[in-house]
Structure 1
Amino acid sequence: MTEQQKIHPVVDVEAPAPTAPLVPPGSATSEKGSPVQHRLPQRTIPVIHTRPPKKRSCCCRCICWTISLIVLLLIILGATVGILYLAFRPKLPKYSIDSLRISDLRLNFDMTLYANFDVQITANNPNKKIGIYYEQGGQLSVWYTHSKLCQGSLPKFYQGHQNITKLDLVLTGQTEAGSTLMSALQEQQQTGQIPLDLKVDAPVAIKLGKLKLRKVRILGDCNLVVDSLSANNIISIKASNCKFRLKL
């Protein structure tokens, strides 16, 4: 009988020995004694977008362009005004009260004070290259303290370069509480110095060469001191101080 040989598996001495999974101390084990493996929870990493918002960038760009445009327009406007000023050398017109005459000053039956004044004014345009259009709606009024005695309309006309124009105006009016006002005027007349205030409100348009500009208003205030308010008598103007300004 031939002898049977037993074949044993050859052990690779160079192969690394199998190692058991590391189990932390105090880990739970299953019923069979094998350690229970714990899975760590997965973390979700947020994705951060680094692109700048386009709307904000466009808005900032529009604001910058708008500010730049406004600054440019202001520079152009300032340069234009400066050139016009140097070219035309504008000056305010001058006015003076030449004479004042009272045609009527009396108490009515309803105790209102009626006044009728004749005023002569000289308007002087000193500009060499600027004409003045006096438009409709201008007013001249005479006041005593805070009471308006009378008023009248300024005529509509054109005043050329370096022109002097004389205006004869008729002013009329009725004032409430006439008896009190008349008594105050008569008492003031005894001193020989009666303060009156003439107010001017004239809408005008300026003509630069052939260009007619928009309307502005000439506002004037003339403080007068007269010696009398007797009707149909020559009234002497003892003092006169006039100030005028433009209102856009």
Structure 2
Amino acid sequence: MEERVPPSSAAGDLTDEPPNRHGHGHGHGRRNVSSYDDSFDYSSVSRPVGSLDLTPEEDYDSNTYVVQVPKDQIYRVPPPENARIVEKYRNPMNKRRNSCCTRVCWIILVLFVIGISIGITLVILHKVYSPKGAILFIADVHVKNQSRPRYEFTMKVKNPNENVAISYENDGDAFLLFKKKKLATGKFPQLEQEGGDSRNVRITLTGSNTVVPDEVSKSMHDKKTERAVSLQLEMNLKGEMNIGFLNLWSKDMHVVCDFKVSTLRTGTKVLSQKCDTQIK
């Protein structure tokens, strides 16, 4: 069957009435295909480049035309949701960084809130319990006269806090002084005291290699007469304040005891003393 091409506007002999492209079974605007001039040579009419191919797949009696449009002339606009998806996955690294920054900011905020809460709790507990430093005084002094004298002190230590326990570390330093001159050094022992507890603690101080002052030496060696001498005992203590199992405060305590003894040989008696504890 020979393929027939409907004449274009350039043919000149065609009728002015356009063909009906939508007439499927309705009969409106039907054309009589036999009205065409069969003597016209349609093969001589060239098709313009890029023109639409209106060639029917079957004979003209079917009144059906197939329109073929080149693919490069079909344009489609993506829906808005596609644009959002593309934007979402366009820069995944930036999104990941923003997510990490958000998490870090939240963590910092949570830690800040926790720190503020703990600080407020400690302030409230400190005001409610008002922890005080230990009370110390000298119960006994014994001196061993050797090449390097040893001074043994029995200290009575009391925890004045009823509801706060105190733990003393064993690195507390103790010094014996005579007119601001250091005679001996030692350590305060490790000690744990419950609230309101009172106990005796022994501290041993060893004399230095320096020459002992005359007043101290006479008080040690004069066997006929007791020679009273005034000394000073100084201690730097570190105490942990505890409520139950909670370690709430760490306090540095500076203790100074000014005292006077009857002699530094056998039978030493404490004549007077004044001990003061300062919390730092």
Question: TM over 0.5: same fold?
Answer: yes
Tell me the distance in 2 between the aligned counterparts of 1:221 and 1:197. 7
What is residue 156 of structure 2 aligned with on the other side? Answer: 122
* 2:95 is aligned with 1:87: no
**Which residue identity is paired with 2:271?**
K
2:258 aligned residue (198, 223, 237) = 223
Question: Contact 1:102–1:229 at 8 Å: present in 2 too?
Answer: yes
Count of paired positions: 164
What is the CA–CA distance in structure 1 between the aligned matches of 2:155 and 2:127, rounded to whole Å? 31
- The verdict on how the C-alpha distance between 1:155 and 1:198 changes in structure 2, with shifts beyond 3 A counting, is same
Aligned equivalents of 1:102 and 1:85: distance in 2?
41
Q: How far has the Cα of 1:242 moved from its partner?
A: 0.7
Asked whether the equivalents of residues 115 and 149 of structure 1 are also in contact (C-alpha less than 8 Å), the reply is: no
Tell me the amino acid that sits aligned with residue 93 of structure 1: A
Matches within 5 A, 1:1-248: 80=121, 83-104=124-145, 108=147, 114-176=148-210, 178=211, 181-186=212-217, 192-230=227-265, 233-247=266-280
CA distance in 1, matches of 2:117, 2:209: 51
TM-score after normalising by structure 1: 0.58
Q: Which runs of 5+ in 2 are unaligned?
A: 1-115
1:173 to 1:185, Cα distance in 2 relative to 1, 3 A: closer
Aligned-pair Cα RMSD in Å: 2.9
Relative contact order, higher structure (CA 8 A, sep 6+): 1
Is this contact kept in 2: 1:207–1:213, CA < 8 A?
yes
Query: C-alpha deviations, 1:100-151, integer Å up to 9, x for none?
Result: 01012x5x5xxxxx22011100110121110011113112221111221112
Residue 77 of structure 1 and its aligned partner are, at CA, apart by: 9.1
Cα deviation, residue 85, structure 1: 3.8
Q: Which amino acid aligns with 1:195?
A: S
Q: How far apart are the structure 2 equivalents of 1:135 and 1:238? A: 30
Normalised by the size of structure 2, how large is the TM-score?
0.52
**For residues 156-200 of structure 1, what are the alpha-carbon distances to aligned partners after superposition, in whole Å with 9 as ceiling and x for unaligned?**
121111111211122112242x1xx34232467878431100001
Higher helix fraction (1 or 2): 2
- Report the residue type matching 2:137 in the other structure: S
More strand by share: 1
Deviation above 6 Å: which 4+ runs of structure 1?
A: 75-79, 188-191
Q: Counterparts of 2:187 and 2:204 in 1: how far apart (Å)?
A: 8
Identity %: 20
SS of residue paired to 2:189: coil
- Amino acid of the structure 2 residue aligned with 1:131: A
Larger radius of gyration: 2
